[in-house]
Structure 1
């Protein structure tokens, strides 16, 4: 049997560069496992922080060390030069988190290459990355969400007379506490919790430095639960998991510091609630036209029994300890098999 050459695309230009490297290491290990090793040859392709693509020894060095390259180049002409090994790829496994990775940009490039790739296409990736577009799609699908407001950078920075009125409107519509988020960043980057006018003003100014589109959400006292989705046109939902932590909210430091957060799989919630979350996960997956994989996050208000959809992540963290693969492991799909299934779904969708 002829092996498929899998282009493992990792690194990237976002702030989640190091997370991408860790995900790639886990996937490469899984594809080198006994059954997968008979089917696939892995070709690591590394995108430096400056956007230059590397394959061969350099990409393997980053994968083996787990550390990004420190040297970069100012030669912009190299941005248009792809390693010759790229032409040998039969199927791509992009594991690029954040902007310029899971927002539809790379997916558009891979589509133009006319080679199958794991995960959502341009539409699903872009809608899943932009929190405002995502919430509009969810609302159209009739999925319950917390109250929110979509705001532009110009409302915050362009006119000093408008800003106080904007804060008045946020206070009236959402009250405190509320969460201010850049629309197009992952891993909780740029997110802040506001409990007062002063904190709100600071949070809005900070979020506007990251993105021209900002979203403000009402805060709720809730348990944070997640469900993983796998498949294409007939996706399946995993068991439901829960995240607990001691910090004020699930910020970047809590998310990526060992011991700051705990995953509980399966979540200790009523069976009916778990079933509702699984059903909503599949609806959310379809609403943004996702494919292959996604992790869907929810707020469960235990006192009232309400469930609110928070967001979908079409390219979630993929280390062996990340929530997405752990949810599937608890659902009977071990990590190496999960990687194999994702590649097969990529081939199926391409055909």
Structure 2
């Protein structure tokens, strides 16, 4: 099924990431990334090129979006994630920057305003923070990947107010890749971190309270499954992963702690599978939940646009299969950032055929932002 946008606009700066606020689903943020050109005649300069960005707040009513606020940053944005720990931290947004820092913002939903709360430098300013993920159980812990190849754990040492401007941050490298690690994910029980990189390596690293400054030996490393860089990881269980790659494929992998990884299902999506989002709002994935027989995923497929993909099996012992439910192909360049609006009604949006969902998707070089229904 081909889908058309309900509304679209051209942004001032290329968009790199999109995320709806889980607690106030009428709001979403767009992060942007702008690489400044070197001065004329200085293309060979040893000075690094400057990167800047913006954090843009929008309000969505049905499929009509309204620009609310733009926050200008002295660094570009590569990723952003709202905390799942709302009870402990409130509506806190973490932003990964091009200058080695994590920036934190809260939203005043009543006033419709983002407020900057803190900045934590976690690595050298010349290193980019590529991807970030909140620990599912620990509000004071965030995992990141860095452009120098590191996969690291960041912890806020002030437990009463994690990530406050007065708190300190420790960064512990737990794994490495030989090229940029584009993505990471916690296992459902948070005992493992999976990471994937430009080196076409997918690996799992065991987490423990006694992690040291020395990278751990991976629990397992897979160099054969993906024919290009690994760009997205979505665990369904500790030993069952959905992955995306620059090789244009989405895959379901059986990944036991011992033994070979096995591809259970795969599908060519026409573009590099940069990011994956669960349309079930994550409710069908968790350490205490049995494996479902059907999952619906939103895939940001770079030069191919967005895909709505179903992964299903007819029975618990049956084979898995991917299928494309819908395609959105109005983006003329790299579709990096996409997100689905969280369901607002209890019991709504568990992947049923008759339900409608609203998606915001963006593309980088043409600076296009689209809203569409599926």
Please, what TM-score do these two structures have when normalized by structure 1?
0.31
Q: Which structure is richer in relative contact order (CA contacts within 8 A, separation 6 or more)?
A: 1
Q: Whose strand fraction is larger, Structure 1's or Structure 2's?
A: 2
Instruction: Give TM-score scaled by structure 2 length.
Output: 0.29
